[in-house]
A and B are shown apart, each in its own frame.
Chain A
Amino acid sequence: MQEGTTEQELKDRLSLIESMIGEGRRSIETWGWTYVLWGVAYYFAIAWAEWGRSAWAWPVTALIAVIVTVVVASFKAGNHPGTTLGRAIGSVWIALGISMFLLFPALGVSGRLTDQHLFVALMSAILGLANGASALILRWKVQFVCAVVWWVVAVAVCFTTDGQSTILFLVAIFFCQIVFGAYSQIAEAQQRKRRGPIHA
């Protein structure tokens, strides 16, 4: 053993390195609010489309949610440094957004988006893909569970009635967007509280 250094101190140094490197993941968890925002946006769009019978429900809601996300994110970013990990995760979600903004309006305009099951299955599969990729990059089990839920919904809605597919979609949004987003924010706040100041 190093002179004057106890085994506990060495273990403490190792855990300090781990926790500091873990800042990459923690900075991802500060994105929890976007999951909640988009979960609420999905509910709003579903309600508007259902009761308002408007074809603009999804495009308008999604556009507003994008604007809010970009504005809030640019304020929150502040002096946060860029990381390779952050860029990797960001790329997955930006690519998801572009795919959805191209695919769904094209399907809608061409008149091929008449089947509710197809819409829910596509949405769920794409969300499963993004959550799955993000979870595998971050090795984050909770997010991987969300990905599995989305994949299960994507497959299940192919075999259910209209009512059942709506319920499945609403439940998945609740757990994988709103509950997961809130959990991420709480986990981040708790980790910040647990970690005290570091002295020389």
Chain B
Amino acid sequence: MPELPELNPVVHGRLRLSLLSLLCGVEEAEFTWLRAKTEATDGNLGAQLLKLEEAGYVAVKKKFVLRKPQTLYRITKSGRQALSDYVQALKQLLGTAI
């Protein structure tokens, strides 16, 4: 009997999964854009992005545009790999469930 894969708990959270999926389609994204797309609160979004950053799945860059602070996020190579592994694991689990 083949062993069932474990789902990565860092990726599994709904908001974190949304963020990784959003970031995998763009080069880099502003905090405000991610907030608009997920409709999450500032606090929740910041906390989940921090978890992804601590896991090494997203990289953060802060800069000033016309004297306004801008926080940009981009998915890292390991973040992309983690998302890809997660999708594979999901498919495998669903395959055994059907």
Contact = CB atoms under 8 A, between A and B. Distances in A.
Interface of A: 1-2, 5, 7, 10-11, 13-14, 16-17, 20-21, 23-24, 79-85, 195-200
Contacts of A84: 27
Given A79-B32, A198-B14, A7 B38 contact: no
Contacts of A14: 87, 90-91, 94
Contacts of B77: none
A83 B29 CA distance: 10
Contacts, number: 88
A188 B48 CA distance: 27
Contacts of B93: 1-2, 10
- For the residues of B in contact with A, the DSSP-based class is helix
Contacts of B90: 10, 13-14
A199 B16 CA distance: 9
B97 A81 contact: no
Contact of B48 (A1, A2, A200): A200
Contacts of B48: 200
B30 A79 contact: yes
A86 to B, nearest CB: 8
Counting chain B residues whose Cβ lies within 8 A of the other chain, the interface size class is 35 or more
A51 B44 CA distance: 60
A23 B29 CA distance: 12
Contacts of B30: 79, 81
Contacts of A197: 38-40
29 contacts: A1-B4, A1-B97, A2-B4, A7-B97, A14-B87, A14-B90, A16-B14, A16-B17, A17-B83, A17-B87, A20-B18, A20-B21, A21-B21, A23-B22, A23-B37, A24-B25, A81-B28, A82-B26, A82-B27, A83-B25, A83-B27, A84-B27, A195-B39, A197-B39, A198-B15, A199-B15, A199-B40, A200-B13, A200-B48
